[in-house]
Amino acid sequence: MERDLVDYVARSLVDEPDGVEVNMIEGEKSTIIELKVADGDIGKVIGKHGRIAKAIRTILSAASTKTGKRVVLEILD
C-alpha cells in the first residue's frame, strides 16, 4: 500500500511520470522505500527546503500506523 502511495504522489508531481521508480525493502520492524525520478524532476519531489519530501514522509507515517512498522522514504539521485 505504501509503495503505491509513493508511486502515485511522485507521478503526480513530476514532468516525466515514466521516469519514476519505487523500490521497497521490507525489514522486520521497518520498511525502506526508495524513490528514484528523472534528473530534472528531483527538485519537484524534494521541494523548497524539503517541504514536499517532508509532506510525503508525513503521509507515509500516517498510512503505516495500521501495520505498526516504521516506514523510511529515501529519495535517490
How much is the pLDDT for 73?
A: 95
Residue 13 has pLDDT above 90, yes or no: yes
Q: With DSSP H G I counted as helix, E B as strand and the rest as coil, what are the percentages for the chain, rounded to 5?
A: 50, 25, 25
Cell of 8: 502515485
Residue 5 has pLDDT above 90, yes or no: yes
pLDDT in tens, 20-72: 999 999 998 899 999 999 999 999 999 999 999 999 999 999 988 888 889 99
Which domains can be identified in the chain, with CATH numbers?
A: 2-76 (3.30.300.20)
How much is the pLDDT for 1?
A: 82
How much is the pLDDT for 17?
A: 93
